[in-house]
A and B are shown apart, each in its own frame.
Chain A
């Protein structure tokens, strides 16, 4: 289990009902994390992943930063997840 800091900005906020949370995850990749979050917040995956291609939607954005690193825009959902990572969904 890893604990990551998740931040929900703009349209992700009404879906989750929270602005941020520390979240324990078993996922190794960003896609795995999104699938976990989809079970908690129905519709989360379709907000960020194109249902046809499974790829990140072009009109959404996810920023990932390892602990103490500057977050950058994620281009690949296979992005590995590390303990203490800061991830912003918008």
Chain B
């Protein structure tokens, strides 16, 4: 059994065109500069993927990355999945479960998948032994069927998997990777790219281990970490709620506050009885059969498994009811039936679809149908109004999206792709940014959310810049803020409708989240002051790896990562014009709540503050030479210039 140091990072490079398999060390200085997981994935993307390549071509590379903290027993079992998105920008998503720790035990930290296989294959990793295996028999299977087939074939219950469903095989917009049946990740198109490479699955089994550099120091940092997550001692109002009930509790909180996207966000409130019918409390009362946690998670588990107890869909099983589903398959399409909601969500997991793609595209289609832009001639005779649909037909439509059949083929493009095809003003009803659908968080009452979704490099993804409902601004005193070098007026920054200081706060949270995802840790473990005060993470990293750097240098790793992602996008032609909010959010006020639209002036004010704080050009958003120099990444400025990108000094 091989025991490795936590800081050691090894890349497994697999070329599906040639069949070659190589092991390469990750440069040691990269661990200091970018930590691991998302950070090193971003560095690899920029170094190895040439700008302008065809995302579906053999030159695109799919990276799956762990980090120095992965596999140590404190709930850090995350994966970063990254590639060039079919939309041209960076695609990156995080995922939990057990795959990351198992991969590290097998002796690897990153997998780079290059080329395209001639036939469907899966990658089998058993410690030193790595093989590309035929997967013809798996192609076409759902994620659940693939999981069962691989388990039967490999016979060892400790294998961990990542696989795609039929949606990714068929290159459906935003299709994802899955594991442990319901663990999804990489919604920005990572699954599509895996499908384009004809790679059905990855299977890994390892027998090694990870050694901490300083066990006692690590234990001290861990105690501090646990105290901040403890139900009694945490100072964060979300800790008790998230850890036991999960995010769908928001469905009962949001309708009164103008925060629940309803009928494709034409309204921001919903019937309270419907919201209650699909709430966490109802779900826990009658549907949950088992709590299931990721690798060593200190929380009571957020991915609860369910079985529909009675009625038409009795016996249907699934898992992971979280914040997205009550909106995407609830209020957004005006469905107050929890059974139907769980079937739609469960089918997305089986077909390998992104719930946000499907929910928001259904919402768009329903609005188009009600406005006469789409008719029964388009929908194959289906009635498609908000709350006015046949349940079985809607369920079948999800299947058609995954297989690109009939009307489902149009919706498989995502709302933006579908709107571009049919036109007729339907673009106004797309709730998307950079070609990717929103993720159920309201913007007009929380301006930082508006800014966050506008600038996010992958498209809307609040996990890249912290939960939008910020922790209590009084969590840190002025003296503590000074100690941390955080020169932000938190009180002003947390004023939800005031555009001032949103750029500065968003910058900090983007850095903070980049660090957490590079260690990597889980978005839901960043509670209490752990998103503002990174010293606990710093101590955990230092004691695990033995890498000693001062706190500000540790923080700079997060800043480097956010700059890498921006550079990737500007190389592909993205810029200020793409940092925007959906038409509805910039042109319509929220009725009945007094929340104004985010007009261009307001957005520009926040964008200017954000770009300035980052040291980026206000016109092109390209990081300035002085900023790249400060971060020790001067060579990236030269690289940009060589590609014809103007870099301001």
Contact = CB atoms under 8 A, between A and B. Distances in A.
Contacts of A59: 231, 234-237, 239-240
Interface of A: 7, 9-11, 13, 19-20, 58-61, 63, 65, 70-71, 86, 88, 90
Contacts of B245: 10-11
Contact of B249 (A20, A58, A71, A90): A90
Contacts of B237: 58-61, 90
Contacts of A58: 235-237, 472
Contact of A88 (B235, B236, B244, B256): B256
Nearest to B246: A10
Interface of B: 231, 234-237, 239-241, 244-245, 249, 252-253, 256-258, 276, 279-281, 472, 593-594
Instruction: Kindly name the residue among A60, A65, A70, A71 whose own CB sees the greatest number of chain B CB atoms within 10 A.
Output: A70
Nearest to A56: B237
A7 B240 contact: no
A71 to B, nearest CB: 5
A32 to B, nearest CB: 22
B256 A10 contact: no
A65 B258 CA distance: 13
Nearest to A90: B241
A71 B257 contact: yes
Contacts of A63: 253, 256-257
A7 B275 CA distance: 12
Nearest to A71: B256
A19 B241 contact: no
Given A11-B245, A19-B279, A90-B241, A70 B235 contact: no
B422 to A, nearest CB: 37
A65 B249 contact: no
Shortest Cβ-Cβ A-B pairs, 8 listed: A10-B245, A10-B241, A61-B237, A58-B235, A10-B249, A13-B281, A59-B237, A71-B256
B256 to A, nearest CB: 5
A88 B253 contact: yes
B258 A70 contact: yes
Contact of A11 (B244, B253, B276): B244
Contacts of A86: 256
A10 B239 contact: no
Nearest to A68: B592
A58 B472 CA distance: 8
B253 A60 contact: no
Contacts of A71: 256-257
Contacts of A88: 252-253, 256
B144 to A, nearest CB: 30
A57 to B, nearest CB: 8
A90 B231 CA distance: 13
Contacts of B258: 70
Nearest to A65: B256
